[in-house]
Chains A and B, each alone.
Chain A
Amino acid sequence: MTGLMNLPKSVIIIICLALALGTSWMSLSLGTVSLTSAEVWRGLWGQADPAINIIVQELRLPRLILGLMAGATLAIMGAALQGLLRNPLADPGVIGISASASLGAVIAIYFGWTAVSAYAVPVMAMSMAGVATLILFALAMRDSSALTLILTGIGISSLATAFISLVMNIAPTPGSVQDMVMWMLGSLENRTITDLWMAGPFVLAGWLMLIGTSRGLDALSLGEDAAHSLGINVTRMRWQIILGSALSVGAIVSVCGGIGFVGLVVPHMIRSFMGSAPGRILLPSALLGGAILVGADMVTRAVTDFGSLRLGVVTAIIGAPVFLLIVYRTRDSMR
């Protein structure tokens, strides 16, 4: 068996869509102020009490959309990169863009630019993600193998992490180090429409670049030569996926911070329900990724005993055991 079962793609899509819609609705309803479904509905259209309108439209809706966008992006890009690199361990961080975005954010915090503008962190993070993308393309542009790409990504990631350590090392106050660490643990707290507008175009561009790669990723299961012999332009597909994930993941990390495990685990969850064809799991991964991230965000809002629980902590604590379980259940076919 591939995994636990082998359901048709349409069934999986419907289930994942239902999960995404269900968690979304709960995310709009639940919180410090619990709202009924009717209140949420009227609030969405601005026809409830002014206070409820604000809660739904300005607080919960941007956070929900950002959560869906982040979860879906991390999961679909994780799935695409795993397929492209033919490596079940790949995640959106593997090409080094996430760590580079974090470096940008940490630099902004170090220089105190957060006091100047609330958007200093995301702008710096996006800039560093852009620089890292250029470095990645410069180093791995020519007909490099999947392994070269992974190694280049690891190199960029290590370099960014080294500089993050440096910045933390020389940080002026313990408070700013704490700010840096907290940022890197990821959050959707206090995100506004402006964050959405900043990340949205890059995320959308990244998503659009994946169009048409599904069949090519399936063919790539047979290796690059065989995929090419089936009429797939492997080189073009590689850069579509690398550039697409660099743009979208860079933008997501810039506004949400580091959110681990979603990009690694969600594709494996989908595989265990519908088989391993790398192209077929893209869309279901996106839907489930969105649902899971919104669910994890609700956990951070519900658990208030420890101050603010960070999103990346919750996804990792849920994700890692699930990952171990899947590895255990599919150990026979993963060789």
Chain B
Amino acid sequence: MNQLRAENIVVSIKKTPILHGVNVEVPAGKIVGLIGPNGAGKSTLIRALLGLLPLGDGRVTLDGEDFKNLSLRDRASRIAYAPQGAPVHWPLTVDHLVGLGRIPHLSPWRKLSDADQHAIEQAMVLTDTTHLQSRIATTLSGGERARVMLARALAVEAPYLLADEPVASLDPFHQLQVMDILRQQAADGAGVMVVLHDLSLAMRYCDEIIILLNGLVLASGTPSDVLTDDNLRTAFSIRASRWQDGDTDLLLPTTWTD
């Protein structure tokens, strides 16, 4: 089956162990939410899945192939990454910035082809950023920039997408819009892993949820299996109020003292 998979991976950063044997799967066509308290190792797991960190043990496989055997360029064209915080170090125009997502597909010295151009336009349409295309990325608002960075990741047109807190700086409308985009990507066949802090968004949008706690997977499975009172208490020291609005399951985190 097509999936991006971490098998029992162990990762240390500067000799501090962060992940202690983690198994996760991002199946094609599914949107997998990665949640957990600050410092649980979520970003480290994402970076390990991208091959950005050396593995102490275990392995990462992409559609069954060991990551180590894949070239940098091959990985790049198959896994897109939207990093947390989305820095832009130079005042680039938005269309140029989104176009950087085509780098894995370009042969040396070649300009953007029509297909590249189409992918860039499509990514901007999906993220509602077409009207920003000649703006300078460093002058955008936080929400605009987050959507532009997502467009940059979508422009890769990779079968897998790893998004690290893509909705962190967005207003409610754009949070929902971004989650809708990610769900659409999954519906179109992509395997999506998204780091979230908003449990209700995770509940509503994710096909599967993984709770990471202290470098270990505490629970994984469907939202209703994972977001149990016990798990929320163990991972976040919170409880949850739950109700239904039509077909939508809703969840509101509350503290134990409330």
**Which A residues between 31 and 84 are near B, CB-CB below 8 angstroms?**
83
Is B92's beta carbon under 8 Å from chain A? yes
| Segment touching B, from A163-171, A215-223, A307-315 | A215-223
- Hey, which chain B residues are within 8 Å of A212, CB to CB? 108
- Hey, which chain B residues are within 8 Å of A225, CB to CB? 47, 50, 52, 81, 83
- Hey, which chain B residues are within 8 Å of A221, CB to CB? 88-90, 92, 97, 100
Chain B interface: which size bin? Answer: 35 or more
Is B177's beta carbon under 8 Å from chain A? no
Known: A218-B100, A333-B138. A223 touches B52 (CB 8 A): no
Is A145's beta carbon under 8 Å from chain B? no
Contact between chains at A228 and B96 (CB < 8 Å): no
User: Which residue from A229, A276, A277 sits with its C-beta under 8 Å from B81?
Assistant: A229
Contact between chains at A229 and B92 (CB < 8 Å): no
**Which B residues between 35 and 62 are near A, CB-CB below 8 angstroms?**
47, 50-52
Interface centre among B77, B88, B97, B103 (most CB of A within 10 A): B103
CA distance A219 to B87 in the complex (A): 12
User: Which residue from B88, B90, B103 sits with its C-beta under 8 Å from A232?
Assistant: B103
Contact between chains at B103 and A333 (CB < 8 Å): no
CA distance A220 to B104 in the complex (A): 14
Is B76's beta carbon under 8 Å from chain A? yes
Known: A222-B88, A223-B87, A332-B139. A230 touches B93 (CB 8 A): no
Which A-chain residue is minimally distant from B47 (CB atoms)? A225
Known: A223-B83, A230-B104, A332-B139. A2 touches B97 (CB 8 A): no
Contact between chains at A222 and B100 (CB < 8 Å): yes
Contact between chains at A2 and B89 (CB < 8 Å): no
Interface centre among A212, A219, A276, A334 (most CB of B within 10 A): A276
Contact between chains at B76 and A334 (CB < 8 Å): no
Is B233's beta carbon under 8 Å from chain A? no
- Hey, which chain B residues are within 8 Å of A218, CB to CB? 96, 100, 103
CA distance A276 to B90 in the complex (A): 6
Is A226's beta carbon under 8 Å from chain B? yes
Is B101's beta carbon under 8 Å from chain A? yes
Is A231's beta carbon under 8 Å from chain B? yes
Q: How far is the CB of A241 from chain B (nearest CB, A)?
A: 15
CA distance A330 to B138 in the complex (A): 12
Contact between chains at A230 and B101 (CB < 8 Å): yes
Is B203's beta carbon under 8 Å from chain A? no
- Hey, which chain A residues are within 8 Å of B89, CB to CB? 86, 220-223
**Which B residues between 126 and 181 are near A, CB-CB below 8 angstroms?**
136, 138-139, 149, 152, 156
**Which B residues between 71 and 117 are near A, CB-CB below 8 angstroms?**
72-73, 75-77, 79-81, 83, 86-93, 96-97, 100-101, 103-104, 106, 108
A sample of 8 cross-chain residue pairs with beta-carbon separation below 8 angstroms, ordered by A number, consists of A219-B100, A221-B97, A228-B51, A229-B79, A230-B101, A231-B103, A231-B104, A334-B138
**Interface set of B (CB-CB < 8 Å, partner A):** 47, 50-52, 72-73, 75-77, 79-81, 83, 86-93, 96-97, 100-101, 103-104, 106, 108, 136, 138-139, 149, 152, 156
Given contacts A228-B51, A231-B103, 19 further A-B contacts (CB under 8 A): A1-B136, A212-B108, A215-B103, A219-B100, A222-B89, A223-B87, A226-B83, A229-B52, A229-B83, A231-B72, A231-B73, A275-B91, A275-B93, A276-B90, A277-B90, A277-B96, A333-B91, A333-B138, A335-B139
